[in-house]
Amino acid sequence: MSRSKRLLSLLDLLRQSRRPVSASQLAQRLNVSVRSIYRDIATLQEQGAQIEGEAGVGYQMVSGFWLPPLNFTSQELEALVLGMRWVTRQADPALAQSAESCLGKVLSELPADLADEVTHNTLLVGPTASLGDDINVARLRAALQAEFKVEFKYQDKVGHNSQRVVWPMALGYFQTALVLIAWCEVRQDFRHFRVDRLNELVIKDEARYPTPRRTLMNQWYEQQQISKPLPF
């Protein structure tokens, strides 16, 4: 991790905590030495970050730093918390951690009484089935962002296996399945693949597909107006 990225991560950790965090705890989360944390805190303070605390006591971000006041209605906050809780339970670890970070940033800017009410609201996310191997999901998200082709072995619902090279377009989070929407080179058409049926997935990082992903998505949307619903 570069130092600039580490400084941003350190700010996020401080922003998410409503209590002072020790240098040793921060060092453990960022996988660096305590001495590095001391230096990073000093650098952030010199750059204007409103961080209170000292070595041996702990550090805490002053409320309001970097984020403008957030004016949400109670129902908007309930929707936000419910959505973030769903992501932390349903998505791969990297995306789940991002959801926790996002929610922490919002809660840190709310008045204490409202933050407490939101944190202890009555809308919960129940247990969910695994939608796919976390490593495969993370790889697919990376391929989507970079517009790289991916190759994998696929087992359909009746157990037939095939080798596919596809152009990833989107991931659809259904209640019981995570679905990859892609252009399939074998079928020369749009296809939908359950991620939990993918095996030996490889990102072909030397091969960007020729048609922009947004163009493909527009074509897919047009096709869905006249085609059957997704088969899941």
- Per-residue pLDDT band for 136 (boundaries 50, 70, 90) equals confident
Q: What was the pLDDT predicted at 65?
A: 53
Residues 6+ apart with CB under 8 A from 5: none
Residue 131 pLDDT grade (very low, low, confident, very high; cuts 50, 70, 90)? low
Distance from C-alpha of 193 to C-alpha of 204, rounded to nearest angstrom: 18
* Class of 134-224 in CATH: mainly beta
Nearest alpha carbon to residue 7 among 47, 48, 59, 44 = 44
133 pLDDT above the threshold of 60? yes
Binning pLDDT at 50, 70 and 90, where does residue 132 land? low
Q: How high is the pLDDT of residue 226?
A: 61
Range 3-61 classified under CATH 1.20.1560.10: no
**In the predicted structure, residue 146 carries a pLDDT above the cut 70:** yes
Of 46, 12, 49, 52, nearest to 29 by C-alpha is: 12
Q: How far is CA 173 from CA 18, 98, 191, 194, 232, in A?
A: 32, 17, 16, 10, 11
Return the pLDDT at 102: 83
Q: How confident is the model at residue 197 (pLDDT cuts 50, 70, 90)?
A: very high
DSSP letter (8 states) at residue 21: B
- Quick one: average pLDDT of 92-110? 81
Three-class SS of residue 156? coil
Share of the chain above pLDDT 70, in %: 86
What's residue 6's pLDDT?
A: 84
Specify the pTM: 0.60
**Banded pLDDT at 26 (limits 50, 70, 90):** very high
Q: How confident is the model at residue 207 (pLDDT cuts 50, 70, 90)?
A: confident
In sequence order, the 6+-apart residues with CB closer than 8 A to the CB of 225 are: none
